Amino acid sequence: AVEQMGEQQAAVAIAVTLQKYDRQEVKSPGGYLRAMTDRATAGELHLARSIFGLAARNSMEALN
């Protein structure tokens, strides 16, 4: 992941993966990270969307 995304984006991708795994949205964290790495290689990875989506879900859960 670091080779394809760089250190910072790989760290964010791992954080997103762990958060989704903790929320039981991901069954295989390694597979999810590999898929994110593949999308990064293809120029189709949008980590900002993932971050904002998780933040929005956390905000909505906090309100309920």
Q: Where are the domains of the chain?
A: 2-63
pTM of the model: 0.86
pLDDT of 10 higher than 90? yes
From 14, 5, 13, 11, select the one nearest 40 (Cα to Cα): 5
Question: Tens digit of pLDDT for each residue in 18-36?
Answer: 999 999 999 999 999 999 9
Closest CA to 33 of 52, 53, 56, 15: 15
Instruction: List Cβ neighbours of 46 (8 Å cut-off, separation of 6 or more).
Output: none
